[in-house]
Structure 1
Amino acid sequence: MAEEKVVQYDEDSIRSLDWKEHIRLRPGMYIGKLGDGSSMDDGIYVLLKEVVDNCIDEYTMGHGKQVEITIADGSVAIRDYGRGIPLGKVVDVVSKINTGAKYDSKAFQKSVGLNGVGTKAVNALSSYFKVTSYREGKAKTAEFEKGNLIKEHKEISTSEANGTAVFFTPDNTVFKHYHFIGDYVINQIWNYCYLNAGMAIYFNSKKYVSKNGLLDLLTNKTSPDELRYPIIHLKGEDIEVALSHTGDYGEEIYSFVNGQHTTQGGTHQQAFREAYVKTVRDFYKKDYDAADIRQSICAAISVRVQEPVFESQTKTKLGSITTYENGPSMKSFVLDFLSQELNNYLHKNTAVAEALKKRIEQSERERKELSGIRKLANERAKKANVHNRKLRDCRVHLNEEPPAKNRETFQEKQLESTIFITEGDSASGSITKSRNVETQAVFSLRGKPLNSFGLTKKVVYENEEFNLLQHALNIEEGMDGLRFNNIVIATDADVDGMHIRLLIMTFFLQFFPDLVRNGHIYILDTPLFRVRNKQKTIYCYNEEEKQKAVKELGNKPEITRFKGLGEISPEEFGRFIGDDMRKEPVLLSKDAHIQKLLEYFMGKNTPARQVFIIDNLRIEKDLAEDTAA
């Protein structure tokens, strides 16, 4: 019998990590998931946000009216015109945990960053980090590599205006193959502008500014043609609300705390949803169903709170707050505001009140029309879910309550939760065999889905595949129950695959647009070519990468062109949906209006659409000629 190895547990077993070691060992605890920049919640955007948050806090306290952001060659430069870090503390503020000016709630009354971790995490996770403080005619600079101080410069005289400049390059050993997507950065910048009306942010020399706060946010997120009544804009002390109704399905609510976009909502968003329903019922003196009141709402709420409690370091969800400024609860605070201000507004604007009433009653009629078919469809879905051959589920889901033990690790996995929507048995089989069963699920389509453009939500229940898909995602009652953070459409790159991709995207845009707006929908990018010799295999995603691989391997390597996902073996597929997975986000620009977009691409063949297709269509023959070139 082999001798059993005894593991010693003594003083030598205990190891203390310094701050930068801990951040680098467990970055997910501080910035959520790592990612390569293809998702809006990837770590590189959190690094950017942590630095900009400090600039915004300065502006909020009345110091500095503009922020300058430059991103080039994977590096970020940020300059504010606040008070500047006290020169004697420049090194400490960016390299010592729990060092900052925000703990006494005096210098920074209602700021976002209260834990003293933000810029330290940026420093620790950057291959190079430089901070310069300009303060009262003097400047002080410190340089770091991966959190280690490499040079502390002496104070010098300067004519520069007061403020702080930070330059950093994310560490590519932590953020592998990272790239910044401009649309994501611009979306972050606009949110800062909406919440700080009058402040100017320059991004790569282009100016962004909002004059009307949340009113501008909703104006940019909607089309005047879609609005059922003019946007209602209400402002009070520490609270701002804007709302209207559109013709879209679902609820679209943007919520913010102390300038932080809480993408996962929280107590303030729930308080708004409940307070809005109660205020509307009281105004019309009618007990409308809550779902009818909120159906098609487009709203934004921003609150400012002393010492907010977030559910994670990334601050995407506001936790429980028992009191607001030692006064009423968040629920009472929002209800008191809406019951007075919205009630007054509706009394003064009778045309708006009448339009709102018509929208609610329309939703009520639509819901009742759906109720019968919905019941039958849900019964079918329940039976199918027991042996749902379309869904190969995973173990960790976005909507689950994290366990008390290993909470941070579980939350990291929740952000990685992914469902692949595939077509065809061979492609589904390859992904199913090679996926990570912990965080990756597969939903298999049978042929081309129905073109749902212009159809009512009735079709979601009548069409078995659509009904099973909405149940797999758990979005029938809204986005709060969404089971997967990433919804990845995995179809072939040929004409049929592109058509299926477009039909799936039409389904989401028509009935669940919030999934697209909130950055949950992606297109899986898989290699077009495999280039190999006896020593090495290189997978290439485009013609340029193929030519580079041929040059690298030399001596006429073997080149295989993949025509479909089914041709890629499960062993190979595992490489393309793992840590190095490439996926393209489905993005909507701020001035894109969904119904017009769908009408253009999925409606009748208008002359403009025909010209667009002819000019942009590339058939297999063209691709073959490219390959042979």
Structure 2
Amino acid sequence: MAEVKKQLFDYTEDSIKSLDWREHIRLRPGMYIGKLGDGSSPDDGIYVLVKEVVDNCIDEYTMGNGKTVEITIQDKTVTIRDYGRGIPLGKVVDVVSKINTGAKYDSKVFQKSVGLNGVGTKAVNALSNYFKVASVREGKIKEAEFERGLLIKEHKERGTDQNNGTMVTFIPDDSVFKNFHFIPEYLEKQIWNYCFLNAGLRIIFNGKSYVSKNGLRDLLEREVNEDERRYPIIHLKGEDIEIALTHNNDYGEDYYSFVNGQHTTQGGTHQAAFREAYVKVIRDFFKKDYDASDIRQSIVAAVAVRVVEPVFESQTKTKLGSINVDEGGPTMRQFMQDFLSRELDNFLHKNQPIAEALKKRIEQSERERKELAGIKKLANERAKKANLHNRKLRDCRVHFNDEPPVKGKEAFFALQKESTIFITEGDSASGSITKARSVETQAVFSLRGKPLNCYGLTKKVVYENEELNLLQHALNIEEGLDGLRFNRIVIATDADVDGMHIRLLVMTFFLQFFPDLVKKDHIYILETPLFRVRNKQETIYCYSEQEKQKAVKKLGGKPEITRFKGLGEISPDEFGNFIGDEIRLQPVILDHGDHIQHLLEYYMGKNTMERQEFIINNLKVELDATDVA
């Protein structure tokens, strides 16, 4: 027996295993594409797969090759076609199936490109049920087909009258991305960002054309309605840098930051450098030592830089690390400071009305901050005491704002993306979720009852209302989203009238005081099953009447049907199914052009005739078959 144990724990040459490229990607997909997910979140893996292929098309455009990219997504099949130079025909198979193969190691060919390490399309290939690549160069075409990274057919070169370029078709592997679906709004946002960063590029997505003439100015015009802007958009451009900014009436700071065309959703050195340099330039221009928070309060800014060989903190490139702008050149901090000191200062001197409007917004923020100072201090002291034994919050171990460890960064980043807080109503629901949750990445915040309707109120109410103040502290968003502790904020209420009302009140709180949480896709609604249909062999959970009918038909006979009327009725064991790998989340998405204050006034303001007519015209009564009987 001792000999058997010794053999089990021996560390010999046989213990060392070498995985080939596709095995490694499939075994550790999080290292290459972040979290997996089902498509309900914008950073889920299926969108990263699309991005990795499109990035290559954008790099071709940046180098002056091809002005159009076509993207078609039908059901679960993605096809992406560019009109660049095309992959050299002799390397078509290698480029999509051999790690460390690509042109982007030669900085003369691809300067300041997005895809630097030659991993992107290999990851897409390895994580797809089916993957096909075709390259057209000078009247010849070469194609290759793969399944889960394995070459199944390499076609011979043949003649063609197609234009030069590359076409990739793939179907994500449904054994990796379980129950996945594409949400068009997320894809549209991705596509618009490509266009804003590459003025003149045309992207055709499922037949609809997207193009931007004015770059980041167009981005802010799309994101901030004209009547919300405190002054016209300031648009500054230089070599390898572009900035657009304005102020609105929302709380917090709103940034869209990019490096080499990559949307760095978690910011990084370029965003930090902008925030610091902007404050210094404003202080110098007005010759007044304004508080930094007053200068940046309500700012909406887009910042894009291009650098040689950027260092990202993860393969998914959502945060820029410390770098110099050019080899041997200035640091990002110096570069940003020099640019804004020259360009923004010049702009404000030449545009006095805009400078005056900016000054008024800063001084308004200053007055509001001073009015809040006293009550804020008392509220924070109360919250600090409550946090020591806060029964409302059952925290988790890994948070979105945690510093990554020295080793195992990629795995840690994947966990950070999974960090979730469930906002529940009452003790019974929160009790079930608390028992079933993953202590590693899932926290629970329990509401006492119906929260306050925050529409039309000032931020003073957040500090006066203990429950809202504790929620603000649990999320760590008092000073903006930089310290946000959870990537996903999930409203988990019953699917009855009271639950819907609580859901609306919580969403009103976020839209009124922290709209960036919604704009940055952090807010979700938890979908829980309405029915359980089972016989002795199988149990099926159903989220609609249609799913119930389908389950009954599948099981046959007379299966047992249970109607869940509240979250508290679902046992912790069952709840584990609904908040684990099979979690169904409905993202809260603002449609383009939505004016937040108009939305809140319509749904949460005084009961107008317009709203009464909407309710009457859209009221639906669904009767359960068992109720009818």
Contact 1:305 1:325 in 2 (8 A): no
Contact 2:35 2:417 in 1 (8 A): yes
CA deviation after TM superposition for structure 1 residue 5, in Å: 1.2
2:5 is matched with which residue? 5
Q: How does 1:202-601 map to 2 (within 5 A)?
A: 202-601=204-603
Contact 1:77 1:167 in 2 (8 A): yes
Distance in 2 separating the partners of 1:92 and 1:597: 52
CA deviation after TM superposition for structure 1 residue 601, in Å: 1.0
Q: How does 1:37-76 map to 2 (within 5 A)?
A: 37-76=39-78
Normalising by structure 2, what TM-score? 0.98
2:604 is matched with which residue? 602
CA deviation after TM superposition for structure 1 residue 241, in Å: 0.4
CA deviation after TM superposition for structure 1 residue 18, in Å: 0.3
CA deviation after TM superposition for structure 1 residue 11, in Å: 1.6
Distance in 2 separating the partners of 1:269 and 1:232: 17
| Structure-2 change in CA distance of 1:47 and 1:626 (3 Å) | farther
CA deviation after TM superposition for structure 1 residue 610, in Å: 1.6
CA deviation after TM superposition for structure 1 residue 607, in Å: 2.3
| Structure-2 change in CA distance of 1:616 and 1:89 (3 Å) | same
Letter in 1 for 2:306: R
Deviations 1:287-334 (A, max 9, x none): 000000000001101000110000000000000114534211101111
Q: How does 1:17-166 map to 2 (within 5 A)?
A: 17-166=19-168
Distance in 2 separating the partners of 1:208 and 1:625: 47
Contact 2:196 2:214 in 1 (8 A): yes
Letter in 2 for 1:617: L
CA deviation after TM superposition for structure 1 residue 497, in Å: 0.4
CA deviation after TM superposition for structure 1 residue 406, in Å: 2.3
Distance in 2 separating the partners of 1:60 and 1:324: 18
Tell me which moved more, 383-392 or 588-597. Answer: 588-597
Deviations 1:47-88 (A, max 9, x none): 000000000000011100100000012110000000000000
Contact 2:325 2:335 in 1 (8 A): no
Distance in 2 separating the partners of 1:418 and 1:537: 27
Distance in 2 separating the partners of 1:623 and 1:564: 17
Distance in 1 separating the partners of 2:628 and 2:137: 61
Distance in 2 separating the partners of 1:260 and 1:432: 37
Distance in 1 separating the partners of 2:240 and 2:3: 67
Task: Give the secondary-structure state (helix, strand or coil) at the position aligned to 1:235.
Answer: strand
| Structure-2 change in CA distance of 1:18 and 1:569 (3 Å) | same
Contact 1:215 1:242 in 2 (8 A): yes
Task: Give the secondary-structure state (helix, strand or coil) at the position aligned to 1:299.
Answer: strand
Task: Give the secondary-structure state (helix, strand or coil) at the position aligned to 1:102.
Answer: helix
Say which of 612, 615, 618 aligns to 1:613: 615
CA deviation after TM superposition for structure 1 residue 37, in Å: 0.3
Contact 2:196 2:215 in 1 (8 A): yes
CA deviation after TM superposition for structure 1 residue 209, in Å: 0.7
Distance in 2 separating the partners of 1:415 and 1:577: 15
| Structure-2 change in CA distance of 1:562 and 1:158 (3 Å) | same
Distance in 2 separating the partners of 1:330 and 1:274: 11
CA deviation after TM superposition for structure 1 residue 14, in Å: 1.1
Contact 1:324 1:333 in 2 (8 A): no
Distance in 2 separating the partners of 1:594 and 1:539: 36
Letter in 2 for 1:5: K
| Structure-2 change in CA distance of 1:362 and 1:22 (3 Å) | same
Contact 1:254 1:263 in 2 (8 A): yes
Task: Give the secondary-structure state (helix, strand or coil) at the position aligned to 1:225.
Answer: helix
Which ranges of 4 or more aligned residues in structure 1 deviate by more than 4 Å? Answer: 1-4, 625-629
Normalising by structure 1, what TM-score? 0.98
Distance in 1 separating the partners of 2:270 and 2:628: 58
Distance in 1 separating the partners of 2:396 and 2:97: 39
Letter in 1 for 2:357: A
CA deviation after TM superposition for structure 1 residue 623, in Å: 3.7
Tell me which moved more, 586-595 or 243-252. Answer: 586-595
| Structure-2 change in CA distance of 1:626 and 1:91 (3 Å) | farther
| Structure-2 change in CA distance of 1:516 and 1:627 (3 Å) | farther
CA RMSD of aligned residues (A): 1.2
Distance in 1 separating the partners of 2:52 and 2:626: 44
Task: Give the secondary-structure state (helix, strand or coil) at the position aligned to 2:444.
Answer: strand
Distance in 2 separating the partners of 1:497 and 1:311: 40
CA deviation after TM superposition for structure 1 residue 626, in Å: 9.2
CA deviation after TM superposition for structure 1 residue 4, in Å: 7.2
Task: Give the secondary-structure state (helix, strand or coil) at the position aligned to 1:502.
Answer: helix
Deviations 1:546-603 (A, max 9, x none): 0010001111111111111111111111100000000100001221121111111111
Letter in 2 for 1:368: K
Distance in 1 separating the partners of 2:440 and 2:361: 43
Distance in 2 separating the partners of 1:290 and 1:407: 32
Distance in 1 separating the partners of 2:2 and 2:279: 69
Letter in 2 for 1:580: E
Q: Note if 1:624 corresponds to 2:624.
A: yes
Task: Give the secondary-structure state (helix, strand or coil) at the position aligned to 2:377.
Answer: helix
Tell me which moved more, 592-601 or 344-353. Answer: 592-601
What fraction of aligned residue pairs are identical, expressed as a percent? Answer: 78
CA deviation after TM superposition for structure 1 residue 221, in Å: 0.4
Letter in 2 for 1:497: G
Letter in 1 for 2:210: Y
| Structure-2 change in CA distance of 1:289 and 1:444 (3 Å) | same
Letter in 2 for 1:93: V
Letter in 2 for 1:284: F
Q: Which runs of 5+ in 2 are unaligned?
A: none
Task: Give the secondary-structure state (helix, strand or coil) at the position aligned to 2:22.
Answer: helix
Distance in 2 separating the partners of 1:625 and 1:287: 69
CA deviation after TM superposition for structure 1 residue 10, in Å: 1.3
